[in-house]
Amino acid sequence: MKSVRVSWRLTPLCLLLGSVYATSAGATAAAQLVALEAAASAQPALMHARFWQAGFDPDTYLVSEKLDGVRAFWDGQSLRFRSGLPIAAPDWFTAGLPKTPLDGELWLGRGRFDELSGAVRKKLPVDTEWRQLRYMIFDLPGAPGSFAERAQRTSVLVAEARQPWLQAVAQNRIPTAVSLQNLLDQTVLEGGEGLMLHRANALWSPGRSDVLFKFKPMPDEEARVLAHLPGKGKHAGRMGALLLVLPDGQQFALGTGFSDAQRAEPPPVGAIVTYRYRDRTPKGLPRFASFLRVQPQ
């Protein structure tokens, strides 16, 4: 498929509303576009990880488990998805948070992402569901000092909050590459997703950089749904593949990893999905990609 560069933010929104523009309801479509653009512009400035590479030395990093949860940003007043959209958390949950920006994961435990996603996406929160989850804090956005110092400050804030569902993500020193690989193998064996490595002396800085890495058996990435491609053969009459656009504008079709139910009701156009892949082509497109999940937002 020919690669076409498009805007990660604007073009998917236009495609999302394309069918509406084709009708006479142009004013409604324009209002929807403005609303979606406003949500996109409200995305919090957060740190994002690169992939850990063989040969890197972990000695200068603090290592934690990569939690299979939903990322949540607390700005001191409101709780939001990384998309910038609000999370409908119970009042008692947000009332117990410190007035300090927090970056972390809403988490139910290993292997419970679908259950967690269903709980936190509800417009009206269910107390019994929220009482089960934890808010696992791994950084303090915008705070001064090194990551090691911020990790210590996180532990203090969590202890002072005295909320059992608010916890600091444990950070540990792993001195060698062999020890790191052993830890990854054990974590995955026990049902974990992988590891995160954050350079201990790094100052906080938003975006992707060489101070934060994720280490997993198979890498994963995210892309936005542009269209549903029709299925053939046994998938005739339902979705055969998702046409996705990468952050750099390249497009590719993702056709494996879906259940029958997901093919019957695929992720909507405009949604962000996560996929696993083995490696990349010289042009940067994923090889042997497989659908993993839809990101709540």
Is 66 among the residues known to form the active site? yes
**Pairwise CA distance, residues 217 & 224, whole Å:** 23
Alpha-carbon gap, residue 141 to 203, rounded angstroms: 10
- 290 contacts 277 by C-beta, under 8 angstroms: yes
DSSP H helical ranges for the chain: 10-16, 18-21, 26-41, 91-95, 113-120, 127-130, 147-161, 177-189, 260-264
Query: Could you give the CA distance from residue 67 to residue 106 in angstroms, rounded to a whole number?
Result: 9
Q: How far apart are the first and last CA of the chain?
A: 29
Distance from C-alpha of 125 to C-alpha of 91, rounded to nearest angstrom: 10
Return d(Cα 77, Cα 268) in angstroms, integer.
Answer: 30
Q: Which candidate in 66, 99, 214, 216 is catalytic? A: 66
Q: How many CB atoms lie within 10 A of CB 115?
A: 13
Distance separating alpha carbons of residues 196 and 106, to the nearest angstrom:
16
User: How distant, in Å, are the alpha carbons of 101, 251, 259, 293, 295 from that of 267?
Assistant: 31, 17, 12, 9, 10
Residue from 105, 196, 83, 102 nearest 143 by CA = 102
Query: Catalytic positions, please?
Result: 66
